[in-house]
Amino acid sequence: MKAYIFPGQGAQFSGMGKDLYEASAEAQELFEEANAILGFSITDVMFEGSADDLKQTRVTQPAIFLHSVVLSKVLGKAFRPDMVAGHSLGEFSALVANGTLSFADGLRLVSQRAQAMQKACELTPSTMAAVLALEDSVVEALCAATPGIVVPANYNCPGQLVISGEVEAVNLACEKMKEAGARRALVLPVGGAFHSPLMEPAREELAAAIEATPFSKPACPIYQNVTTTAVTDTGAIKKNLIAQLTAPVKWTQSVQHMAADGATSFIEVGPGKVLQGLVAKIVPGAGVSSAQLGA
């Protein structure tokens, strides 16, 4: 069975999507529609902008979403998922790809999400940090024992967990992680504490937008970050998508469940190869590849 997986923030690169635009009339139409919906030329930033230009939150999330969704659309009949999943932001790409969300509605929600998260980041000095080579349970216990707000945010693969919270609490937790034997506990260059309680203002703002957006019955199950298991009920999908902003991304567990449910081939749709590397560590021996035009 084929599982199509969609990357999240951090996968962007200068020039992303230009090959799609030049290779397909359908891609051109979708990109131009996106420019109209967003009210600025995101294609200019994606195709010609610098790495710094692409780091702007209002650009980063829609850009990655566009690259993934446009690629899935132009694959045509070659795109035949038995199941889908997306890492954080990638969950929106996955929901367009499996027919739950329309292209336009998905893009609007992603744009609103990016702006709401940016506003939440500006309310409290906050950050994230990657912790390597420490058991999940140890990371969880150390976060719980650290004063202030610091929580596990991304369960990326065995031995790689990202924590998120207030700057002071994250720094203190990192020292505790190193003392406990972590190979690394490195603060990341991000704008704020994603997937933590500090995103509550963004969750409230996005909840209203999601509730007002029509969701259709998906063509195949999505394995959502919050629950990690197959979901097809649109009400549950909405609920999980709202909860995702303040809850951890359980990518390890999601991939494990996809494999347990029969996935033998994991195909990454979008920029980069980050998810392929994670899948290879979560399910050794699984087939991993990138979706490509003409493939």
pTM attached to this predicted model: 0.95
Each domain of the chain, given as residue ranges in start order, spans: 2-121+197-290, 126-187
Yes or no: say if 128 and 153 are a contact pair by the CB < 8 Å rule.
yes
Question: For residue range 57-66, what is the model confidence (pLDDT) as tens digits?
Answer: 789 999 999 9
Yes or no: say if 6 and 267 are a contact pair by the CB < 8 Å rule.
no
Question: For residue range 204-251, what is the model confidence (pLDDT) as tens digits?
Answer: 999 999 999 999 999 999 999 999 999 999 999 999 999 999 999 999
Comparing 292 with 43, the larger pLDDT belongs to 43
- CA dist 142 and 131 (Å) reads 12
What are the angstrom distances between the C-alpha of 187 and each of 126, 146, 234? 11, 16, 36
Identify the band that residue 46 occupies on the pLDDT scale cut at 50, 70 and 90: very high
Question: For residue range 146-202, what is the model confidence (pLDDT) as tens digits?
Answer: 999 999 999 999 999 999 999 999 999 999 999 999 999 999 988 889 999 999 999
Paired strand residues for 266:
3, 288
Which tokens sit at 5?
């997986």
Q: Using alpha carbons, select from 193, 113, 125 the residue that is nearest to residue 154.
A: 193
Paired strand residues for 166:
126
Total Cβ atoms within 10 A of residue 18: 14
Question: For residue range 99-147, what is the model confidence (pLDDT) as tens digits?
Answer: 999 999 999 999 999 999 999 999 989 999 999 999 999 999 999 999 9
- CA dist 97 and 47 (Å) reads 23
**What is residue 295's predicted lDDT score, i.e. its pLDDT?**
52
**What is residue 35's predicted lDDT score, i.e. its pLDDT?**
97
**What is residue 179's predicted lDDT score, i.e. its pLDDT?**
97
Indicate if the pLDDT at residue 77 is higher than 80. yes
Which residues are CB-neighbours of 22 under 8 A, at least 6 positions away?
none
Indicate if the pLDDT at residue 261 is higher than 60. yes
**Overall average pLDDT of the 83-88 stretch:** 98
Q: What 8-state DSSP symbol labels residue 158?
A: T
**Overall average pLDDT of the 33-56 stretch:** 93
Looking at the domain that runs over 126-187, which CATH code has it been given?
Answer: 3.30.70.250
Assign domain 2-121+197-290 to its CATH architecture: 3-Layer(aba) Sandwich (3.40)
Paired strand residues for 155:
161
Yes or no: say if 181 and 133 are a contact pair by the CB < 8 Å rule.
yes
**What is residue 52's predicted lDDT score, i.e. its pLDDT?**
87
Indicate if the pLDDT at residue 68 is higher than 80. yes
What are the angstrom distances between the C-alpha of 183 and each of 34, 77, 135, 194, 198? 42, 45, 11, 23, 27
**What is residue 294's predicted lDDT score, i.e. its pLDDT?**
63
Comparing 292 with 114, the larger pLDDT belongs to 114
- CA dist 185 and 189 (Å) reads 13
Which tokens sit at 3?
């599982």
What residues act catalytically? 88, 195
State the pairing for strand pair 126-132/2-6: unpaired
> For residue 1, how far is the Cα from the chain centroid?
22
